[in-house]
Structure 1
Amino acid sequence: MTTTVTQPSPSATRAARAVGFSWLLVAGVLLTAMNLRTAVTSVGPLLDEIRSGLGMNNVLAGVLTTLPVLAFAGLGGLTPALGRRLGERRLLIIALLTMSLGLVARAFSHSVPLFLVFSALALAGGAVGNVAIPAVVKRHFPDRVGPMTTAYSTALAVGTMITAAFTVPLEHAFDGNWRLAMGVWVVPALLAVVPWALWRDPARDAEDRAEAAAPVKRVWRSRLAVMMVIFFGMQSMIAYVMFGWLAQLFRDTGRTASQAGLMLAVFTAISIPVSMIVPSVAAKLRDQRPVLFTLVGLYLVGLPGLVLGRGALQWAALVVTGVAMGTFPLVLTLFGLRTRSPQGTAALSAFAQSGGYLIAGTGPLLVGVLYQVTDGWAAPFALLIAAALVALVTGAYIARDRYLEDELAEAAE
């Protein structure tokens, strides 16, 4: 009796490979997103140890805490051009390897200048990823921008929380060695390289090269792009001030150091479920103004409550403000929804993030000056409420059903 072995058809084999490559792509996006803030959030918990270990003064410590904004603003703007030259896969591999080198090298640097240089190197990878990932999602998941943005913004929030939560326990586990506690974060960064190294999509290579040859230019001529810069800057300013100054506010209003740390951890953790919900809801709507108005409106309720509230009221304001931080995953979603092509997404993302982070960088500095001059929190939070109002106005424009490429075509006529 002869047994006939049925071989899979070529089309079935190609389909199976396509599914495998799709999962590698999803894994690459999620693992990369988890590492985008590692170089930032591993510094704050150990800032005192870093300063004493390196003999860093307050001015240089201020430079260190400002580096993320400068890196995200400067290097993010170069990402579309680098992507056209290298291709998205190679660009992300290089970005993650650059991040890995910076994470290790700075952890074992014994001079302040080298620590700052290698910190900038580590941050460069995150700056590139900030812009590249939305474009990857637009190119490879054009019909699933909402779910994929949900996935990677959630992964980004989880990675941020894990790094912030575990850096100090790792330092204790390593017998007070803060260098090892910082350097260990190279492991997830290197792990994120693996799916990109394995991923191939040869069927799209010719199409991708043709698309890359026609970049979207002169983005600043679009009112949508300008409004996106302002909105991104305002919501990022509020976020940077929250992460940098919220614990001090809680201590000034009667909380202990441990209580303030717990409240900050809760505030960070709220972003995880919010990141899971906001992009999917927004992507189902043609007009995202209801979502945007709700989130910014929560800022206008929560920010005053943080200053004026005590006890349970302050906790409630913390939760409300934490939910309002959903403006970040919302604007990531809008990068894809307000463009018609991956090139448009990359151009809009780069333009908005570069300009927006420059605006955001002024926030913590201005809040510090106002806090020192007034010896209170009324003036700093008045600044944040003003930022939320500006976000409300600009958000009303960017959340409507319109496209970057259409506005640029009209401007060219």
Structure 2
Amino acid sequence: MMAVMASEETRTVKSTNPHLSASAHDSASGPERGAAVPAPRTWAVRLVVVGIVLSALNLRPAITSLGALLEEVRDGLGMSGSLAGLLTSVPPLCFAVFGVMAPRLARRFGAGAVVCAGMVAITTGLLIRPYTGSTAGFLAGSALALMGIAVSNVLMPVIVKRWFPDRVGSMTGLYSMALALGTSAAAAVTVPVTEALGGNWQSGLAVWAALAAAAVLPWIPLVRDRGPRSTQPQAAPSVHTRVEGVGPVRQVPARGEPPVLRITRSRTAWALAVFFGLQATAAYITMGWMAQIFRDAGVPAGTAGLLLAVTMVMGVPLAFVIPRVATRLPHQGPIVIALGVCGLAGYAGLYLAPAAGAWAWAVLLGVSNCAFPLALTMVGMRARTGAGVAQLSAFAQSTGYLISIPGPLLVGVLYQHSGGWGLPIALMIGLMIPQMAVGVLAGRDRTVEEEAAR
């Protein structure tokens, strides 16, 4: 009898619904398996492109505008060097804490709605932080703006993968280019704008709220629009089935149900997270302290701001080119090495002759900072599905920003206690070596789904 039952159990499971077809099976397997997906509306696609560009423009001015006026803010609020270092560590802290919430918020409200709310938070934070009159209030306003930046940081690669699955490289390049443009513009014009407004640093910082307010508008019509594809894993629909000759009707998942992705089992995910963290460390040290390094070397404040702008503006053309090149290579390691070598040369120049070769060091460090668009591109390449990209983006960015928190703070402490920039620059050089190593590992041709399933 047991042998007969075992034999019955191994028979083919047949659906009691005679209308279940192969197309239904494909649909259950998700859009990545070739199911037909309705074409998105033209107006929605155009709004998404505009929204991506305007949002990207607002993802760094809150940081680089502060870097250009850090000395004035320190004097105005009575900050010490260590406290200023803490201030420059707030961005990665907020990105780590709030970025991990982005996928859950996107599942509940939709990615467009979350990004829209993020732009509102940036606008509000930038508007109120200069006028709080205290260091605690300034930190709170900054945290509000950075919360909006954090969720948008995580969801931008998801939106690109979801709306433009066949143009990940070019759209990531466009997004990264706009991000670099906003970063460099804030660094370049914050000091002149402040001077034009009577030298009031509060007004010079608050003016960037207007750009953030403009970024809210294209997302408003998309608040309820979930896009052509879901960013979240869809459970395959259950099919009512009966095993021939055995038992009552029972639920059996349709074939093709995606397995649960345990992202922490993937070595590539960890390598990408560490790479993201180390490049973020370098970027936030640069944005927060590079202008001050030049000013301490005798460079005028306006010129120091322009030098920081040059560093940031290098990302405008390269952020468009690097993702397109990266998507055409099976291994992104050579790009990682090239960017790292530029960083080492730039830091060596800052150590040996910060004022004499200032423009060259600014260019080299700008090239090195293009590890950020490369990391974003690898997030899109190291996962097969939209759901995988959402998980990998949240994991890599949240973990990475946690890793990057001590860097800017440690630079402030070393600067205050050593009385110079020798030790901080030596720290930057030392961190570039492991960044190159883990970047090579993250650039290998594999996906997190494959590794997590092993």
TM-score under structure 2 normalisation?
0.78
Give the AA of the match of 1:290.
P
Counterpart of 2:375 in structure 1: which amino acid? V
Question: Which is further off, 369-378 or 398-407?
Answer: 369-378
TM-superposed deviation, 1:390: 0.6
2:53 is aligned to 30
26-35 or 113-122: bigger deviation: 113-122
Matched ranges for 1:13-412 at <5 A: 18-54=41-77, 60-199=83-222, 208=230, 211=233, 217-251=261-295, 253=297, 255-309=299-353, 315-410=359-454
- Once the two structures are TM-superposed, the CA of residue 318 in structure 1 deviates from its matched residue by 3.5
Given residue 339 of structure 2, which amino acid in structure 1 is its aligned partner? L
Q: Which moved more, 1:102-111 or 1:305-314?
A: 305-314
d(CA) in 1 for partners of 2:419, 2:315 = 30
Does structure 2 conserve the Cα–Cα contact (< 8 Å) formed by 1:216 and 1:343?
A: no
Distance 1:275 1:293 in 2: 16
Deviates more, 1:239-248 or 1:278-287: 239-248
**Identity score, percent:** 45
Amino acid at match of 1:78: M
Asked if the contact 1:306–1:318 (Cα under 8 Å) also holds between the matched residues in 2, the reply is no
Alpha-carbon distance, 1:91 to partner:
0.9
| One-letter amino acid matched to 1:391 | Q
TM-superposed CA distance for 1:320, in Å, is 2.5
What SS does the corresponding residue of 1:153 show, helix, strand or coil? Answer: helix
Within 1, Cα distance between the matches of 2:179 and 2:445? Answer: 27
Total equivalences in the alignment: 395
Question: TM-score, structure 1 length as denominator?
Answer: 0.86
Separation (CA, whole Å) in 2 of partners of 1:310 and 1:115: 31
- Output the CA distance in 1 between the equivalents of 2:233 and 2:107: 9
The amino acid that maps onto 1:66 is: S
Match of 1:5 in 2: none
Check 1:327–1:59 CA distance in 2 against 1; reply closer, same or farther (3 A cut).
closer
The whole-number CA distance in structure 2 between the counterparts of 1:22 and 1:140 is 7
CA–CA distance in structure 1, aligned partners of residues 281 and 206 of structure 2: 28
Q: Which residue of 2 aligns with 1:6?
A: none
In 2 relative to 1, CA 255–186 (structure 1 residues): closer, same or farther, beyond 3 Å? closer
SS in 2 for 1:85: helix
Aligned mates of 1:318, 1:210 — CA distance in 2: 41
Tell me how far 1:310 sits from its aligned partner: 6.7
- 1:256-290 Cα offsets, whole Å, 9 max, x none, are 55544443332222222221211111112222222
User: Per-residue deviation at 1:32?
Assistant: 0.6
CA gap 1:22/1:314 in 2 versus in 1, 3 angstroms: same
Distance in 2 of aligned mates of 1:286 and 1:172: 49
Q: Is the 8 A contact 1:235 1:387 kept in 2?
A: no
Q: 1:7 matched to which residue of 2?
A: none
C-alpha deviation, 1:120, in angstroms: 1.0
After superposition, what is the alpha-carbon deviation per residue over 1:35-69, rounded to whole angstroms, capped at 9, x for unaligned? 11132223233344444555556555444332212
Q: Distance in 1 between matches of 2:358 and 2:188?
A: 22
Contact 1:289 1:396 in 2 (8 A): yes
Tell me how far apart the structure 1 counterparts of residues 93 and 43 of structure 2 sit (CA, whole Å). 38
Gaps of 5+ in 1: 1-13
The DSSP-based 3-state class of the residue aligned with 2:230 is helix
Unaligned segments of structure 2, at least 5 residues: 1-37, 236-257
Letter aligned with residue 363 of structure 1: G
| 2: CA distance, partners of 1:375 / 1:179 | 28
For residue 208 of structure 1, give the secondary structure of its aligned residue in structure 2.
coil
CA distance in 2, matches of 1:253, 1:180: 27
User: Quick check: 269-278 or 36-45, which moved more?
Assistant: 36-45
Task: Flag the 1:265–1:211 CA change in 2: closer, same or farther, 3 A.
Answer: same
Asked if 1 retains the 8 angstrom alpha-carbon contact of 2:173 and 2:373, the reply is yes
Distance in 1 between the 2:336 and 2:154 partners?
A: 22
The aligned counterpart of 2:31 is none
Find the aligned partners of 1:302 and 1:210 in 2 and give their Cα distance: 41
Q: Which amino acid aligns with 1:152?
A: Y
Cα root mean square deviation, aligned? 2.8
Paired residues of 2:88 and 2:409 also in contact (CA < 8 A): no
Change in Cα spacing, 1:392 to 1:47, as seen in structure 2 (3 Å) is closer
Relative to structure 1, the CA distance from residue 203 to residue 398 in structure 2 (aligned partners, 3 Å threshold; closer, same or farther) is closer
- Using the TM superposition, name which of 293-302 and 149-158 deviates more: 293-302
Q: Deviation per CA, 1:271-313: give whole Å up to 9, x if none.
A: 2222121111111222222222221222233322332247765
Q: Which has the larger radius of gyration?
A: 2
Higher helix share: 1
